[in-house]
Amino acid sequence: MTFESSTARRGASSSLRGGFRRAALVGSGLALATLLVRLPARGAEPKERPIAVVDLHVDLPYRHNYRDGSFAESSGQFPARKLARAGVVGVVLPLFVPKSHAPEGPRFSDFETSYKGVLAEIRKTPPYLPPGCVETPGRVRTFLAFEGAGAFAEDPKRLDEWVGRGVRSLGLVHTKANALASSSGDAKPMPFGLTRAGKALVERAHRLRVPIDVSHASDRAVEDVIELSRRSGVPTIATHSNARALADHPRNLTDEQIRAIASTGGVIGVNFHSRFLASGRRATLADVVAHVLHLVKVAGVQHVAIGSDFEGDINPPAELADVGGFPRLASALERAGLSRDDVRRIFSRNALRILCGEK
Ligand SMILES: [Zn+2]
């Protein structure tokens, strides 16, 4: 943000100097020179700087490791060259391993491969910073996460090393129950939420002050995680889930779950996938606004964030087809009655409170 604004200022002042130079060249009359410097030179209008965005869920690691996409170009939803103008200053990168690659669930060797691929992309793609909370103006902070962490059931102590590498959010399951927890995608509800190993891993994560991400978890698992959150004081988060009251899908959260997550101090990141925004049709920007407003009403504005799910094979609203839509969403939220400050909280501050303890 700081970089954006100073660039805009530098751009404006150099264009103004250009205007003066042109006036001097014309030089034949003061009136004409005055007129020329008053007229804004092309590009001199300082652009309104976009509201900073920290996105809690972007599947660039999946795109790069399993779909031949680079961080620079991505699938077109999250290309590096568009991030500055969109206001993106931070992103959570899940080390997701697809079922096609690991039918029995990801192994530690898969995590290692994913991690190495992600670090290499971060290093060669300019706006990205290495994982961590250190802020550098004009750069994009990165945070690592798991989305499906069954391998840790065998050895929860290994989580410590991953937290040291920059993991800031731990999603236990993906679309199928594993050795840690049951999933919202299970064909039949399982007779458990967290398994014994799942409970042990959650407790270990909480000792390391790492929040559990309950997007993809079954209702029973959400309940179990929140119970452990209440004991430890570490928030529960849902990085990329919407409101079930507006779009009835097991991946979305009931109002009761939304309130419970808020009561732990956690956040819910709004997902841009049409299926989780509206039932049976392509969603629109208005649907995203409706979910944000609903979450604000039920949870409070301190507990709502952005978790686009870009690069995760999603079908977003046409107005939010890529990161370039973030400023459009910010304007729509303000038109819907949220203050600029509320939008700033939702777009980045609430996420940074969870990821980095920033107030
Ligand atoms: Zn997901």
Planar angle of CA 182, 184, 186, nearest 5 degrees: 65
What is residue 51's predicted lDDT score, i.e. its pLDDT? Answer: 98
Q: How far is the CA of 136 from the centre of ligand 1 (A)?
A: 28
Q: How far is the CA of 272 from the centre of ligand 1 (A)?
A: 11
What is residue 44's predicted lDDT score, i.e. its pLDDT? Answer: 43
Residue 27, token pair as written in the block: 């030089």
Question: Is residue 26 pLDDT above 70, yes or no?
Answer: no
Report residue 354: phi and psi, to 5°: -75, -45
| Whether residues 63 and 38 fall in one domain | no
Q: 117-130 burial string, b = 16+ CB within 10 Å, else e?
A: bbbebbeebebbbe
| Whether residues 16 and 122 fall in one domain | no
Q: How far is the CA of 157 from the centre of ligand 1 (A)?
A: 25
C-alpha–C-alpha distance, residues 112 and 9, integer Å: 43
> Which residue range is the domain that position 41 belongs to?
1-49
C-alpha–C-alpha distance, residues 311 and 302, integer Å: 26
C-alpha–C-alpha distance, residues 76 and 82, integer Å: 10
Question: Is residue 140 pLDDT above 80, yes or no?
Answer: yes
| Whether residues 17 and 148 fall in one domain | no
What is residue 1's predicted lDDT score, i.e. its pLDDT? Answer: 32
pLDDT digits (tens, 9 = 90+) for 273-299: 999 999 999 999 999 999 999 999 999
| Whether residues 307 and 176 fall in one domain | yes
What one-character DSSP code corresponds to residue 180? S
Question: Is residue 38 pLDDT above 70, yes or no?
Answer: no
C-alpha–C-alpha distance, residues 147 and 33, integer Å: 62
Residue 26, token pair as written in the block: 């014309």
- pLDDT category at 104 given cuts 50, 70, 90 is confident
DSSP string, 95-135: ----TTT-TT---HHHHHHHHHHHHHHHHHSTTEEEESS--
Q: How far is the CA of 148 from the centre of ligand 1 (A)?
A: 9
Question: Is residue 266 pLDDT above 70, yes or no?
Answer: yes
> Half-sphere exposure (CA, 13 Å, Cβ side) for 132?
8
- Cα 308 from chain centre: 6
What is residue 37's predicted lDDT score, i.e. its pLDDT? Answer: 42
Question: Is residue 356 pLDDT above 60, yes or no?
Answer: yes
- pLDDT category at 359 given cuts 50, 70, 90 is confident
Q: How far is the CA of 120 from the centre of ligand 1 (A)?
A: 23
Whose tokens are 């990141």? That residue is 269
Amino acid identity, position 308: S
Q: How far is the CA of 147 from the centre of ligand 1 (A)?
A: 7
CATH (domain of 256)? 3.20.20.140
Q: How far is the CA of 129 from the centre of ligand 1 (A)?
A: 23
Q: Tally the domains of the chain.
A: 2
State the average pLDDT over residues 210-238: 98
Residue 149, token pair as written in the block: 């962490």
What is residue 80's predicted lDDT score, i.e. its pLDDT? Answer: 98
Planar angle of CA 198, 203, 206, nearest 5 degrees: 125
| Whether residues 64 and 2 fall in one domain | no
Residue 204, token pair as written in the block: 């270990």
pLDDT digits (tens, 9 = 90+) for 293-307: 999 999 999 999 999
C-alpha–C-alpha distance, residues 246 and 230, integer Å: 27
| Whether residues 19 and 141 fall in one domain | no
SS3 244: coil
C-alpha–C-alpha distance, residues 172 and 183, integer Å: 9
Residue 48, token pair as written in the block: 């309104």
pLDDT digits (tens, 9 = 90+) for 45-90: 446 789 999 999 999 999 999 999 999 999 999 999 999 999 999 9
* Residue 224: closest CA among 206, 243, 207: 206
What is residue 21's predicted lDDT score, i.e. its pLDDT? Answer: 37
Out of 20-24, 159-163, 178-182, 310-314, which region has the weakest mean confidence (pLDDT)?
Answer: 20-24
Are residues 143 and 169 in contact, defined by beta-carbon separation less than 8 angstroms? yes
What is residue 30's predicted lDDT score, i.e. its pLDDT? Answer: 43
Question: Is residue 204 pLDDT above 90, yes or no?
Answer: yes
Residue 128, token pair as written in the block: 């990205």
Q: How far is the CA of 240 from the centre of ligand 1 (A)?
A: 7
Q: How far is the CA of 26 from the centre of ligand 1 (A)?
A: 60
Q: How far is the CA of 158 from the centre of ligand 1 (A)?
A: 23
- pLDDT category at 106 given cuts 50, 70, 90 is very high
| Whether residues 27 and 106 fall in one domain | no
Q: How far is the CA of 300 from the centre of ligand 1 (A)?
A: 24
| Whether residues 27 and 168 fall in one domain | no
What is residue 220's predicted lDDT score, i.e. its pLDDT? Answer: 98
C-alpha–C-alpha distance, residues 149 and 204, integer Å: 13
- pTM, whole model, 2 decimals? 0.87
What is residue 47's predicted lDDT score, i.e. its pLDDT? Answer: 62
| Whether residues 277 and 134 fall in one domain | yes
C-alpha–C-alpha distance, residues 157 and 164, integer Å: 12
| Whether residues 245 and 334 fall in one domain | yes
Question: Is residue 110 pLDDT above 80, yes or no?
Answer: yes
Across the chain, what does the average pLDDT equal? 90
Q: What number of other Cβ atoms are within 10 A of residue 340's Cβ?
A: 10
| Whether residues 177 and 32 fall in one domain | no
- pLDDT category at 8 given cuts 50, 70, 90 is very low
